[in-house]
Amino acid sequence: MTEATKSWIEAANAADCEFPIQNLPYGVFSVDGQAPRCGVAIGDRIVDLAACEAAGLIDAGGTFSQPQLNDFIALGRAKWDEIRAALTALLATGGNSATPTVAMADAKLHLPIRVTEYTDFYASRNHAFNVGVLFRGPENALPAQWTHIPIGYNGRASSVVVSGTDVIRPMGQLKTDDGPIWSPCKRLDLELELGAIVGAPSELGDRVSVDRAESMIFGYVLLNDWSARDIQAWEYQPLGPFQSKAFATTISPWIVTQAALEPFRSEGAERLNPLLPYLHETRPGFYDLNLSWSLNGETLSRTNYNVMYYSSAQQLAHHTSSGCPMRVGDMLGSGTISGPAPDQTGALLEMTEGGKKPVKTGDGDRTFLQDGDTVTLNGYAQGDGYRVGFGPCTGTILPAKE
Protein backbone atom coordinates (compact mmCIF):
# COMPACT_ATOMS: atom_id res chain seq x y z
CA MET A 1 0.00 0.00 0.00
CA THR A 2 1.31 3.41 -0.97
CA GLU A 3 1.89 5.57 2.10
CA ALA A 4 0.84 9.17 1.59
CA THR A 5 0.06 11.91 4.06
CA LYS A 6 -0.78 14.88 1.81
CA SER A 7 -2.88 15.44 -1.29
CA TRP A 8 -2.73 17.92 -4.17
CA ILE A 9 -6.34 18.71 -3.15
CA GLU A 10 -5.39 21.33 -0.53
CA ALA A 11 -8.59 21.17 1.52
CA ALA A 12 -7.77 17.53 2.34
CA ASN A 13 -4.62 18.61 4.20
CA ALA A 14 -6.32 20.70 6.90
CA ALA A 15 -5.90 19.15 10.36
CA ASP A 16 -9.66 19.16 11.02
CA CYS A 17 -10.73 17.91 7.59
CA GLU A 18 -12.63 14.61 7.99
CA PHE A 19 -11.69 13.43 4.49
CA PRO A 20 -7.87 13.46 4.24
CA ILE A 21 -5.99 11.15 1.90
CA GLN A 22 -5.71 8.63 4.76
CA ASN A 23 -9.52 8.21 4.74
CA LEU A 24 -10.93 7.83 1.19
CA PRO A 25 -14.48 6.79 2.21
CA TYR A 26 -16.92 5.50 -0.41
CA GLY A 27 -20.33 6.93 -1.25
CA VAL A 28 -22.82 7.47 -4.07
CA PHE A 29 -23.45 10.94 -5.50
CA SER A 30 -25.10 12.78 -8.37
CA VAL A 31 -24.62 16.24 -9.88
CA ASP A 32 -27.01 18.30 -12.02
CA GLY A 33 -29.69 15.60 -11.99
CA GLN A 34 -27.39 13.06 -13.71
CA ALA A 35 -27.51 9.39 -12.76
CA PRO A 36 -26.05 8.56 -9.34
CA ARG A 37 -22.63 6.89 -9.42
CA CYS A 38 -19.93 5.88 -6.95
CA GLY A 39 -17.42 8.32 -5.50
CA VAL A 40 -14.76 8.79 -2.86
CA ALA A 41 -14.63 11.85 -0.61
CA ILE A 42 -11.39 13.83 -0.36
CA GLY A 43 -11.20 17.30 1.14
CA ASP A 44 -14.03 19.39 -0.26
CA ARG A 45 -14.32 17.25 -3.41
CA ILE A 46 -15.63 13.88 -4.57
CA VAL A 47 -13.60 11.67 -6.87
CA ASP A 48 -15.89 10.54 -9.71
CA LEU A 49 -14.99 6.86 -9.75
CA ALA A 50 -17.13 6.10 -12.79
CA ALA A 51 -15.27 8.80 -14.75
CA CYS A 52 -11.95 7.46 -13.42
CA GLU A 53 -12.87 4.02 -14.79
CA ALA A 54 -13.94 5.49 -18.12
CA ALA A 55 -10.58 7.30 -18.33
CA GLY A 56 -8.70 4.06 -17.62
CA LEU A 57 -7.23 5.33 -14.32
CA ILE A 58 -8.70 2.46 -12.27
CA ASP A 59 -10.43 -0.83 -13.08
CA ALA A 60 -13.38 -2.12 -11.06
CA GLY A 61 -15.19 -3.89 -13.91
CA GLY A 62 -17.58 -1.01 -14.51
CA THR A 63 -19.13 -1.34 -11.04
CA PHE A 64 -18.56 2.33 -10.18
CA SER A 65 -21.21 3.48 -12.66
CA GLN A 66 -23.83 1.66 -10.56
CA PRO A 67 -26.09 3.71 -8.24
CA GLN A 68 -24.86 1.76 -5.19
CA LEU A 69 -21.61 0.19 -4.06
CA ASN A 70 -22.79 -3.43 -3.69
CA ASP A 71 -21.32 -4.67 -6.99
CA PHE A 72 -17.93 -3.09 -6.27
CA ILE A 73 -17.88 -4.42 -2.70
CA ALA A 74 -18.72 -7.92 -4.02
CA LEU A 75 -15.44 -7.92 -6.01
CA GLY A 76 -13.65 -8.72 -2.74
CA ARG A 77 -10.85 -7.62 -0.49
CA ALA A 78 -8.01 -7.87 -3.06
CA LYS A 79 -9.89 -5.43 -5.30
CA TRP A 80 -10.67 -3.11 -2.34
CA ASP A 81 -6.93 -2.97 -1.57
CA GLU A 82 -5.98 -2.46 -5.23
CA ILE A 83 -8.41 0.47 -5.69
CA ARG A 84 -7.36 2.09 -2.40
CA ALA A 85 -3.70 1.95 -3.46
CA ALA A 86 -4.50 3.30 -6.92
CA LEU A 87 -6.58 6.20 -5.54
CA THR A 88 -3.87 7.02 -3.00
CA ALA A 89 -1.32 7.28 -5.81
CA LEU A 90 -3.63 9.43 -7.97
CA LEU A 91 -4.53 11.83 -5.15
CA ALA A 92 -1.20 12.17 -3.32
CA THR A 93 0.93 15.26 -3.73
CA GLY A 94 2.59 14.86 -7.12
CA GLY A 95 -0.16 12.44 -8.24
CA ASN A 96 -2.50 12.93 -11.19
CA SER A 97 -4.14 16.37 -10.97
CA ALA A 98 -6.35 15.44 -13.94
CA THR A 99 -8.20 12.86 -11.79
CA PRO A 100 -11.93 13.57 -12.35
CA THR A 101 -13.53 15.19 -9.29
CA VAL A 102 -16.60 17.28 -8.52
CA ALA A 103 -17.13 19.85 -5.77
CA MET A 104 -18.88 18.23 -2.82
CA ALA A 105 -21.00 21.38 -2.49
CA ASP A 106 -22.49 20.68 -5.95
CA ALA A 107 -23.30 17.03 -5.26
CA LYS A 108 -26.36 15.29 -3.91
CA LEU A 109 -25.44 12.30 -1.73
CA HIS A 110 -27.46 9.08 -1.93
CA LEU A 111 -27.75 5.89 0.09
CA PRO A 112 -24.30 4.32 -0.50
CA ILE A 113 -25.49 0.71 -0.59
CA ARG A 114 -28.61 -1.26 -1.29
CA VAL A 115 -29.03 -2.58 2.26
CA THR A 116 -29.61 -6.30 1.86
CA GLU A 117 -30.69 -7.04 5.42
CA TYR A 118 -30.31 -5.10 8.67
CA THR A 119 -29.69 -6.53 12.12
CA ASP A 120 -29.30 -4.39 15.21
CA PHE A 121 -27.37 -5.40 18.33
CA TYR A 122 -27.15 -4.19 21.93
CA ALA A 123 -23.44 -4.17 22.80
CA SER A 124 -22.90 -1.26 25.22
CA ARG A 125 -23.05 -2.47 28.79
CA ASN A 126 -23.83 1.05 30.03
CA HIS A 127 -26.75 1.34 27.62
CA ALA A 128 -28.07 -2.17 28.32
CA PHE A 129 -27.91 -1.56 32.07
CA ASN A 130 -29.42 1.94 31.97
CA VAL A 131 -32.29 0.90 29.71
CA GLY A 132 -32.81 -2.31 31.73
CA VAL A 133 -33.23 -0.26 34.92
CA LEU A 134 -35.88 1.88 33.25
CA PHE A 135 -37.82 -1.03 31.72
CA ARG A 136 -37.39 -3.72 34.42
CA GLY A 137 -35.73 -2.21 37.55
CA PRO A 138 -32.11 -2.50 38.77
CA GLU A 139 -32.26 -6.19 39.84
CA ASN A 140 -33.17 -7.43 36.37
CA ALA A 141 -31.45 -4.60 34.46
CA LEU A 142 -28.66 -6.53 32.73
CA PRO A 143 -30.13 -9.78 31.40
CA ALA A 144 -28.28 -12.91 32.60
CA GLN A 145 -27.23 -13.85 29.07
CA TRP A 146 -25.93 -10.39 28.15
CA THR A 147 -22.25 -10.94 29.11
CA HIS A 148 -22.24 -14.27 27.20
CA ILE A 149 -24.13 -13.64 23.98
CA PRO A 150 -24.43 -10.70 21.56
CA ILE A 151 -28.15 -9.85 21.74
CA GLY A 152 -29.82 -8.52 18.61
CA TYR A 153 -33.00 -8.40 16.58
CA ASN A 154 -33.70 -8.50 12.87
CA GLY A 155 -34.51 -4.96 11.76
CA ARG A 156 -35.87 -3.58 8.51
CA ALA A 157 -33.63 -2.81 5.54
CA SER A 158 -36.55 -1.13 3.72
CA SER A 159 -36.57 1.92 6.00
CA VAL A 160 -32.82 2.62 6.03
CA VAL A 161 -32.36 6.16 4.67
CA VAL A 162 -29.37 8.39 3.95
CA SER A 163 -28.39 11.35 6.10
CA GLY A 164 -30.52 14.42 5.34
CA THR A 165 -33.74 12.46 4.86
CA ASP A 166 -36.61 13.78 7.03
CA VAL A 167 -38.05 11.37 9.60
CA ILE A 168 -41.84 11.24 10.04
CA ARG A 169 -42.94 10.76 13.63
CA PRO A 170 -44.60 7.32 13.73
CA MET A 171 -48.15 6.56 14.80
CA GLY A 172 -48.68 3.54 17.00
CA GLN A 173 -50.30 1.84 19.96
CA LEU A 174 -49.48 3.49 23.29
CA LYS A 175 -50.34 1.99 26.65
CA THR A 176 -52.62 3.93 29.03
CA ASP A 177 -54.40 2.97 32.26
CA ASP A 178 -57.58 2.59 30.19
CA GLY A 179 -56.02 0.35 27.59
CA PRO A 180 -54.08 1.09 24.40
CA ILE A 181 -54.70 4.22 22.33
CA TRP A 182 -53.82 5.05 18.71
CA SER A 183 -51.57 8.11 18.82
CA PRO A 184 -48.51 9.86 17.47
CA CYS A 185 -45.42 8.64 19.33
CA LYS A 186 -44.81 10.93 22.32
CA ARG A 187 -41.41 9.57 23.32
CA LEU A 188 -39.37 9.74 20.11
CA ASP A 189 -35.65 9.13 20.61
CA LEU A 190 -32.36 8.71 18.78
CA GLU A 191 -29.76 5.96 19.15
CA LEU A 192 -26.12 6.74 18.35
CA GLU A 193 -24.61 3.65 16.72
CA LEU A 194 -21.99 2.43 14.29
CA GLY A 195 -23.12 0.26 11.36
CA ALA A 196 -20.83 -2.41 9.92
CA ILE A 197 -21.24 -3.12 6.20
CA VAL A 198 -20.76 -6.78 5.31
CA GLY A 199 -18.60 -7.11 2.20
CA ALA A 200 -18.43 -10.88 1.65
CA PRO A 201 -21.03 -13.67 1.76
CA SER A 202 -21.19 -16.84 3.82
CA GLU A 203 -23.04 -20.02 2.91
CA LEU A 204 -26.18 -21.47 4.50
CA GLY A 205 -24.98 -23.79 7.27
CA ASP A 206 -21.52 -22.16 7.37
CA ARG A 207 -20.23 -20.97 10.76
CA VAL A 208 -17.82 -18.04 10.53
CA SER A 209 -14.97 -17.46 13.01
CA VAL A 210 -14.43 -14.00 14.51
CA ASP A 211 -11.21 -13.61 12.48
CA ARG A 212 -12.96 -14.54 9.25
CA ALA A 213 -15.90 -12.31 10.18
CA GLU A 214 -13.54 -9.37 10.48
CA SER A 215 -12.12 -10.04 7.03
CA MET A 216 -15.72 -9.95 5.69
CA ILE A 217 -16.38 -6.37 6.90
CA PHE A 218 -15.96 -3.73 4.19
CA GLY A 219 -16.38 -0.65 6.36
CA TYR A 220 -18.51 1.36 8.75
CA VAL A 221 -21.15 4.10 8.75
CA LEU A 222 -22.66 6.22 11.49
CA LEU A 223 -26.16 4.93 12.22
CA ASN A 224 -29.13 6.52 14.01
CA ASP A 225 -31.62 3.86 15.09
CA TRP A 226 -34.61 6.18 15.64
CA SER A 227 -36.75 4.68 18.41
CA ALA A 228 -40.35 5.20 19.56
CA ARG A 229 -39.99 4.47 23.28
CA ASP A 230 -43.70 4.43 24.15
CA ILE A 231 -44.54 2.08 21.27
CA GLN A 232 -41.52 -0.03 22.28
CA ALA A 233 -42.54 -0.31 25.95
CA TRP A 234 -45.96 -1.73 24.99
CA GLU A 235 -44.88 -4.09 22.20
CA TYR A 236 -41.42 -5.40 23.07
CA GLN A 237 -42.10 -8.47 25.21
CA PRO A 238 -41.50 -11.30 24.45
CA LEU A 239 -40.13 -10.99 20.88
CA GLY A 240 -38.35 -7.63 21.02
CA PRO A 241 -38.83 -4.29 19.25
CA PHE A 242 -41.00 -4.20 16.14
CA GLN A 243 -42.80 -1.05 14.92
CA SER A 244 -40.93 1.05 17.49
CA LYS A 245 -37.79 0.65 15.35
CA ALA A 246 -39.22 -0.05 11.89
CA PHE A 247 -40.08 3.47 10.69
CA ALA A 248 -36.58 4.85 9.96
CA THR A 249 -32.86 4.19 10.39
CA THR A 250 -30.52 6.92 9.15
CA ILE A 251 -26.94 6.22 8.01
CA SER A 252 -24.09 8.54 7.04
CA PRO A 253 -23.52 8.89 3.27
CA TRP A 254 -19.86 7.82 3.51
CA ILE A 255 -18.63 4.31 4.28
CA VAL A 256 -15.28 4.59 6.08
CA THR A 257 -13.30 1.50 5.16
CA GLN A 258 -11.80 -0.93 7.60
CA ALA A 259 -8.43 -0.14 5.97
CA ALA A 260 -8.74 3.55 6.93
CA LEU A 261 -9.63 2.67 10.53
CA GLU A 262 -6.82 0.12 10.98
CA PRO A 263 -4.40 2.60 12.68
CA PHE A 264 -7.05 3.24 15.35
CA ARG A 265 -7.64 -0.36 16.46
CA SER A 266 -8.46 -0.46 20.18
CA GLU A 267 -9.40 -2.70 23.08
CA GLY A 268 -13.08 -2.65 24.07
CA ALA A 269 -14.75 -2.87 27.49
CA GLU A 270 -13.33 -5.19 30.14
CA ARG A 271 -14.74 -8.74 29.99
CA LEU A 272 -16.93 -9.71 32.95
CA ASN A 273 -16.55 -13.44 32.23
CA PRO A 274 -14.84 -15.62 29.62
CA LEU A 275 -16.64 -15.90 26.29
CA LEU A 276 -17.39 -19.23 24.66
CA PRO A 277 -14.62 -20.19 22.20
CA TYR A 278 -16.60 -19.37 19.04
CA LEU A 279 -16.61 -15.69 20.13
CA HIS A 280 -12.87 -15.50 20.84
CA GLU A 281 -10.93 -12.89 18.87
CA THR A 282 -7.18 -13.02 18.27
CA ARG A 283 -6.79 -9.22 18.32
CA PRO A 284 -8.87 -6.29 19.57
CA GLY A 285 -11.85 -5.68 17.30
CA PHE A 286 -12.74 -2.13 18.35
CA TYR A 287 -11.60 1.33 17.22
CA ASP A 288 -10.72 4.51 19.09
CA LEU A 289 -13.51 6.55 17.51
CA ASN A 290 -14.70 9.85 19.00
CA LEU A 291 -18.48 9.97 18.68
CA SER A 292 -20.99 12.67 19.54
CA TRP A 293 -24.52 13.75 18.81
CA SER A 294 -26.13 17.15 18.68
CA LEU A 295 -29.68 18.52 18.92
CA ASN A 296 -30.36 21.53 16.69
CA GLY A 297 -26.61 22.17 16.46
CA GLU A 298 -25.85 21.87 20.19
CA THR A 299 -23.65 18.91 21.17
CA LEU A 300 -25.30 17.08 24.09
CA SER A 301 -23.15 13.95 24.39
CA ARG A 302 -19.66 12.66 23.60
CA THR A 303 -18.52 9.05 23.82
CA ASN A 304 -16.19 6.55 22.14
CA TYR A 305 -16.81 3.33 20.19
CA ASN A 306 -14.25 1.55 22.38
CA VAL A 307 -16.69 1.43 25.34
CA MET A 308 -18.45 -1.45 23.54
CA TYR A 309 -18.45 -5.05 24.80
CA TYR A 310 -18.90 -6.94 21.51
CA SER A 311 -17.18 -5.96 18.26
CA SER A 312 -18.89 -6.03 14.87
CA ALA A 313 -16.78 -9.09 14.00
CA GLN A 314 -18.06 -10.92 17.09
CA GLN A 315 -21.60 -9.91 16.22
CA LEU A 316 -21.15 -11.15 12.66
CA ALA A 317 -19.64 -14.44 13.87
CA HIS A 318 -22.54 -14.88 16.27
CA HIS A 319 -25.01 -14.07 13.48
CA THR A 320 -23.69 -17.10 11.54
CA SER A 321 -23.46 -19.38 14.60
CA SER A 322 -26.74 -21.11 13.70
CA GLY A 323 -25.73 -21.42 10.05
CA CYS A 324 -27.54 -18.23 9.01
CA PRO A 325 -25.92 -17.00 5.77
CA MET A 326 -24.66 -13.44 5.35
CA ARG A 327 -24.79 -11.46 2.11
CA VAL A 328 -22.93 -8.52 0.62
CA GLY A 329 -24.72 -5.34 1.72
CA ASP A 330 -25.95 -6.71 5.04
CA MET A 331 -25.68 -4.09 7.77
CA LEU A 332 -25.08 -4.77 11.47
CA GLY A 333 -25.91 -2.00 13.95
CA SER A 334 -23.53 -1.97 16.92
CA GLY A 335 -26.19 -1.08 19.48
CA THR A 336 -26.44 2.30 21.18
CA ILE A 337 -22.99 3.55 22.17
CA SER A 338 -23.06 4.99 25.68
CA GLY A 339 -20.41 5.80 28.24
CA PRO A 340 -21.28 5.71 31.96
CA ALA A 341 -22.09 9.44 32.48
CA PRO A 342 -25.31 11.21 31.35
CA ASP A 343 -23.37 13.42 28.91
CA GLN A 344 -21.86 10.27 27.37
CA THR A 345 -25.15 8.59 26.50
CA GLY A 346 -26.26 7.73 22.99
CA ALA A 347 -30.00 8.15 23.61
CA LEU A 348 -32.34 10.61 25.33
CA LEU A 349 -33.99 7.70 27.17
CA GLU A 350 -30.82 7.29 29.23
CA MET A 351 -29.84 10.96 29.37
CA THR A 352 -33.21 11.96 30.85
CA GLU A 353 -33.75 8.75 32.87
CA GLY A 354 -36.82 7.80 30.94
CA GLY A 355 -38.09 11.38 30.66
CA LYS A 356 -37.83 12.18 34.39
CA LYS A 357 -34.87 14.58 34.14
CA PRO A 358 -35.23 16.97 31.19
CA VAL A 359 -31.98 18.07 29.56
CA LYS A 360 -31.51 21.81 29.19
CA THR A 361 -30.73 23.00 25.68
CA GLY A 362 -30.53 26.40 23.99
CA ASP A 363 -33.86 25.45 22.41
CA GLY A 364 -35.60 24.73 25.74
CA ASP A 365 -35.86 21.63 27.91
CA ARG A 366 -36.11 18.25 26.24
CA THR A 367 -37.13 14.84 27.42
CA PHE A 368 -37.76 13.39 23.95
CA LEU A 369 -37.64 14.79 20.41
CA GLN A 370 -40.09 17.45 19.21
CA ASP A 371 -41.33 18.02 15.67
CA GLY A 372 -38.78 20.19 13.85
CA ASP A 373 -35.84 18.95 15.91
CA THR A 374 -32.70 18.03 13.98
CA VAL A 375 -30.40 15.33 15.38
CA THR A 376 -26.88 14.99 13.97
CA LEU A 377 -24.36 12.24 14.73
CA ASN A 378 -20.65 12.90 14.25
CA GLY A 379 -17.63 10.62 14.47
CA TYR A 380 -13.93 10.64 13.74
CA ALA A 381 -10.67 8.93 14.64
CA GLN A 382 -7.87 11.33 15.58
CA GLY A 383 -4.53 10.64 13.91
CA ASP A 384 -1.25 12.52 14.20
CA GLY A 385 -2.13 15.79 12.45
CA TYR A 386 -5.15 14.39 10.63
CA ARG A 387 -8.55 12.89 11.36
CA VAL A 388 -10.56 10.13 9.68
CA GLY A 389 -14.24 11.13 9.83
CA PHE A 390 -17.64 10.02 8.60
CA GLY A 391 -19.25 13.36 7.83
CA PRO A 392 -22.54 14.20 9.57
CA CYS A 393 -25.43 11.76 9.89
CA THR A 394 -28.48 13.95 10.29
CA GLY A 395 -32.27 13.87 10.26
CA THR A 396 -35.13 16.28 11.07
CA ILE A 397 -38.39 15.19 12.71
CA LEU A 398 -41.62 15.89 10.79
CA PRO A 399 -45.10 15.71 12.38
CA ALA A 400 -46.96 12.39 12.41
CA LYS A 401 -49.46 11.56 9.66
CA GLU A 402 -52.51 11.24 11.89
Q: Which stretch binds Ca ion (CB under 5 A): 2-10, 103-111, 190-198, 345-353?
A: 190-198
Q: Which residue's Cβ lies closest to Ca ion?
A: 225
Binder of Ca ion out of 225, 230, 235, 350 (CB under 5 A) = 225
Q: Does 18 bind Ca ion (CB under 5 A)?
A: no
Q: Does 189 bind Ca ion (CB under 5 A)?
A: no
Instruction: Select from 255, 275, 209, 227 the least CA-distant residue to 114.
Output: 255
Instruction: Name which of 17 and 128 has its Cβ closer to Ca ion.
Output: 128
Instruction: Name which of 124 and 258 has its Cβ closer to Ca ion.
Output: 124
Instruction: Give residue 109's Cα distance to chain centre.
Output: 16
Cβ distance 381 to 261 under 8 Å? yes
Instruction: Name which of 189 and 214 has its Cβ closer to Ca ion.
Output: 189
Q: Does 120 bind Ca ion (CB under 5 A)?
A: yes
- The active-site residue out of 110, 127, 318, 319 is 127
Give least dist CB 385 to Ca ion, A. 34
First-to-last C-alpha distance (Å) of the chain: 55
Q: Does 350 bind Ca ion (CB under 5 A)?
A: no
Give least dist CB 401 to Ca ion, A. 24
Q: Does 191 bind Ca ion (CB under 5 A)?
A: yes
**Cα–Cα distance, 20 to 23 (Å, whole number):** 6
Whether 127 is a known active-site residue: answer yes
Q: Which stretch binds Ca ion (CB under 5 A): 46-54, 115-123, 153-161, 269-277?
A: 115-123
Q: Which stretch binds Ca ion (CB under 5 A): 47-55, 225-233, 342-350, 387-395?
A: 225-233
Give catalytic residue positions.
Answer: 127
Residues at the interface with Ca ion (CB under 5 A)? 120, 191, 225
